[in-house]
Structure 1
Amino acid sequence: MHVLALCWKRKSLLAIEVLWRWLAGTPLLLLLSYELFRLWRQIEAPLAATGILDQFSLAEPMKGAVLVANAFGILWPPALHLLLWFAPLALAVSSFASGFGRNVVLRRYDPVLAWRPVTLVALQLLRIGMFVGSYLLWFVAVRWAGANSLRGVEPDLVSYSIWVICLSLGIFTLWALLSWVFSIAPLIAIVEGRGIASSLLRSLRLGSLKGKLVEVNLVMGIVKLALIVLAMVFSATPLPFESVVNGWPLYAWWILVTLLYCVASDYFQVARTIAFVEFLRAGVESDPALHASSSLKNS
């Protein structure tokens, strides 16, 4: 609560966080929207010819699976072409913006903290790369489950569903365990003045600090979930008045709710980051060896 109050008083921290996120995200979003519109214009007629738009029904799973497969065969080649150049661009822009933007926010909070944007960019690239790798692993695993359970005259849908659920939970758990290292390492680099490899190794040896950091992360995760629920509630408030509020006024309301959600999410992200920094500082100051090493590196 103390950190939340501090962030509320120092609104420049939120302003900088929103600025670097939106300066990086808005052009990427506009570019992606333009490319998706172009892609849709190319595949609209072939996609409609498959029947996926008007014949798909969950009541007929086998027919639906055929329709989805036919639609995927049309959609995948142009979508893959788009991903091959847009994904690396988005990865580079988001990592660069995150590295410099996050460092600026923390230096605004306390100028004593180290200026290590290049280290933060590299760690963010590594984190996003691992995140994308987890999705690719999930995709490969689900395809393997399909190849083993759905081949033959009588596809085994029950076995396929079990495999998908188990593999999804397993990969999600694996990422949850690994993502912690890549999330805390950039803050360790700033607080303790470490390099890339040293920050990653230090994030594996947090000792008693880990419980406190996990607690903050859990609380902020609950807050994010509450924000999503509130955004959904506010988005649905005009629906009882749909005879009066429809068209562009309704879209404008949804855009406003989305923007407010993004600002609130950024605010709690700043609070989470500063809370992490303060806990890490407390851990460094309580350990004489780490405190001396950190002071030497920062000097």
Structure 2
Amino acid sequence: METTGVPVRGTQSFVRTLSECWHRPSLTALEVLWRWVYGVPALWSVWHWVYPVVMAAGVDWGALQGMTILDPMAAANTLGQAIALVAPPVSAVLRWLAPVLVVVWIVVSSVGRTWMLRRADSRLQSRVGTVMVLQAIRMGALAVSFWIWFVLLEAAAGATIVRPVAAGQEPNLVGYCAASIVTTLGLFVLWGVGSWALSVAPLLAMLRGLGVVDSLRAAFRVGELRSKLVEINLVMGIVKIALIVLGMVFSACPLPFESVTTTGFMVIWCAGVSLLYFVGSDFFHVARLVAYLELWRTFQTNELGGNGISR
């Protein structure tokens, strides 16, 4: 983007978009609404179907509560025993529950996101079916990234813990932690660099009335926009991490006063912090999509017509 001949970074335009979204709270409200339309029934489903199975698995909850970071190997052994008890019955439930939740998420998120984006810019076309397919593709890519992450962590555990223990040596816990951090950050950066196209494709479908294949093709052919979209996507990833850290900090604020607080208060406090986190996360999700839309409108004015989002 350029203003009076001076190049503007993607994050500079993103700051302006944050201000615009802040002054349009209805966009965040719509995002929160459709997410909770899905989230509340999903949480109830997990509570109704998964929680009873976990409670009936015969887990030694006392041993779990007695774990300490001072003895990580014993803690890992306790966790392993609990997972061995819980995994088979939970897997049996998730084999049918998880696909249902994923399909419902794709449908609800596509409808809700279309609703929110058309509120942001009334010129966008309603392409719910196309957005559903694109959302399914994005979910598939995300699942693959988590699978790769798990495989790499499993390989790191084998090299630093399992094989040394089998050989009668001390496990290299520091090496495993280092490998876990590097692997997680590396995949995080790769996802930030590559996933922007999967977020832009639904926008292009609504902007141009494109189908699934044409939307994906156009998303990967954005020319000079690519660096700015990647920049915004990476910044959004950092913001998500910052929100998680802030949530953890605020959740821990009452701990120094635990001698004078009740369990009920702690539950209410943590629930309130969680709600604030979700609202903040939804706000930045909205800001990212609106920023993508603003950038595309700015760079493609001759082709698409207009500039900026409509009020």
**TM-score range for the pair, normalised by the shorter chain length:** 0.7 to 0.9
Quick one: which of 38, 50, 53 aligns to 1:36?
50
Q: CA deviation at 1:214?
A: 2.6
Match of 2:8 in 1: none
Q: Shift in Å at residue 274 of structure 1? A: 0.8
- Corresponding position: 1:25 with 2:39: yes
Q: TM-score, normalised by structure 1?
A: 0.81
- Which residue of structure 1 aligns with residue 91 of structure 2? 80
TM-score (norm 2): 0.79
After superposition, the Cα gap between the structure-2 partners of 1:138 and 1:14, relative to the gap in structure 1 and judged at 3 Å, is: closer
Matched, 1:278 2:294: yes
Deviation, structure 1 residue 130: 1.6
- C-alpha change, 1:66 and 1:94, in structure 2 (3 Å) is same
Q: Distance in 1 between matches of 2:197 and 2:83?
A: 36
Correspondence 1:1-299 to 2 at 5 A = 1-43=15-57, 45=58, 47-48=59-60, 52-53=63-64, 56=67, 58-60=69-71, 62-144=73-155, 150-151=162-163, 152-154=166-168, 157-158=171-172, 161=176, 168=184, 171-286=187-302, 288=303, 291=304
Query: Does the aligned pair in 2 maintain the 1:184–1:203 contact within 8 Å?
Result: yes
Asked if 2 retains the 8 angstrom alpha-carbon contact of 1:24 and 1:94, the reply is yes
The 3-state SS of whatever aligns with 2:123 is coil
Where does structure 1 lack aligned partners over 5 or more consecutive residues?
A: 293-299
Alpha-carbon distance, 1:171 to partner = 4.5
Classify 1:111/1:223 alpha carbon distance in 2 versus 1 (closer, same or farther; 3 Å). same
Q: Distance in 1 between matches of 2:299 and 2:188?
A: 29
Deviation per CA, 1:261-298: give whole Å up to 9, x if none: 21222122212211110111222225x4xx49xxxxxx
SS state at 1:53 partner: helix
Counterparts in 2 of 1:181 and 1:147: CA distance versus 1, 3 Å: same
Determine which structure has greater relative contact order: mean sequence separation of CA pairs < 8 Å that are 6+ residues apart, divided by chain length.
2
Q: Given the superposition, is the C-alpha separation of residues 54 and 29 from structure 1 closer, same or farther in structure 2, using an over 3 Å criterion? A: closer
Q: 1:127 Cα shift? A: 0.9
1:180-224: per-residue Cα shift (whole Å, max 9, x none)? 221221112122322111111222222111222233334434443
Instruction: Please say which of residues 131-140 and 220-229 is displaced more in the overlay.
Output: 220-229
Larger displacement relative to structure 2 (60-69 or 211-220): 60-69
Counterparts of 2:226 and 2:31 in 1: how far apart (Å)?
A: 25
Q: Percent identity?
A: 40
Do 1:52 and 1:68's aligned partners in 2 also have CA atoms closer than 8 Å? no
Going from structure 1 to structure 2, the CA distance change for 1:247 and 1:60 (only over 3 Å counts) comes to closer
Q: 1:128 to 1:249 in 2, by over 3 A?
A: same
Corresponding residue for 1:297? none
After TM superposition, which residue ranges in structure 1, 4 or more long, deviate above 6 angstroms? none
More helix by share: 1
Change (3 A) 1:77 1:54: same
CA offsets 1:222-254 (integer angstroms, 9 cap, x no match): 443443343334333333333333222232222
Q: Which amino acid aligns with 1:76?
A: A
- Structure 2, unmatched stretches of 5+, are 1-14, 306-311
Distance 1:282 1:140 in 2: 41
